[in-house]
Amino acid sequence: MKLSAKKDKQQKERPNAFLAFRIMNQQIVHHAAEIQKEIIQSNPLLSQASVSIAKLHITLMVFELKNDEDKQRAQQCLIKACHRIRMAQLVPPQIRFAGLSNFNDRVLFMNPVNDAHLDVLKQIATICRETFEENGILRLDNRPLHPHLTLFQLKQGSVYEGMTKIDSSLYTKFADKQFGTEIMRSLQLCNMKRTRADGYYEVFLEESPFCSQ
């Protein structure tokens, strides 16, 4: 494919769905809310960039589902991927969060601790990505997986009254703080564009990729 054609194709594709697991640990949720509250008190403009506490999650891949056929295929991909994960006998990873980091000073997130549990999560993500791509559901972000729990995001093209970055001085006090541990129980195929009554994303399908204990 020519470079110009590839660029045009990427411009036409808009992610509207993603694969994730939800953050449910109330200790982590509490810390996330407290961090957001303190940062927004210091800079109220960042309230526009805060992620809803009800939507806290870890994204494994994003993609575009153009129609019901794509949605059904993605649902089948999730079922297949979970079967492969069970066959690999992977255990539910316990993802521990500590400290804050950023992407280009525009995305502020909780860090997952780099340990054996994070390695399992990356294995799970790899199985999912391969399964989806084998069945024609291509991820739109080709960068290596960097699991993170987003708290604030300055979106491209959005105007925050001249603010172009999140000042690191707002969150240095949280650099070494322990936030808690999330045990991954299931994977969710989520609709990026719709929200449920509980504030979380609409879920097309939720599956457990682990054998019953």
In the chain, domain spans: 18-207
Q: How far is CA 47 from CA 39, 41, 75, 111, 152, in A?
A: 9, 9, 34, 21, 9
**SS3 call for 179:** strand
| pLDDT number for residue 159 | 60
Give the pLDDT of the chain (213 residues) as one tens digit per residue. Answer: 444 444 444 456 789 999 999 999 999 999 999 999 999 999 999 999 999 999 999 999 999 999 999 999 999 999 999 999 999 999 999 999 999 999 999 999 999 999 999 999 999 999 999 999 999 999 988 888 999 999 999 987 666 667 789 999 999 999 889 999 999 999 999 999 999 999 999 999 999 999 864
H/E stretch holding 207 reads strand 201-207
**Amino acid, single-letter form, for residue 104:** N
**Whole-number pLDDT of residue 157:** 63
- In whole angstroms, give the CA distance from residue 54 to residue 29: 9
Predicted pLDDT of residue 151: 98
* pLDDT reported for residue 6: 45
Domain 18-207: which topology?
A: Cyclic Phosphodiesterase; Chain: A, (3.90.1140)
Q: What is d(CA 86, CA 72) in angstroms, rounded to the nearest whole number?
A: 21
* DSSP single-letter state for residue 32: H
Residue with tokens 């509980």: 198
Asked if 125 contacts 141 with a C-beta cutoff of 8 angstroms, the reply is no
Predicted TM-score (pTM) of the model is 0.89
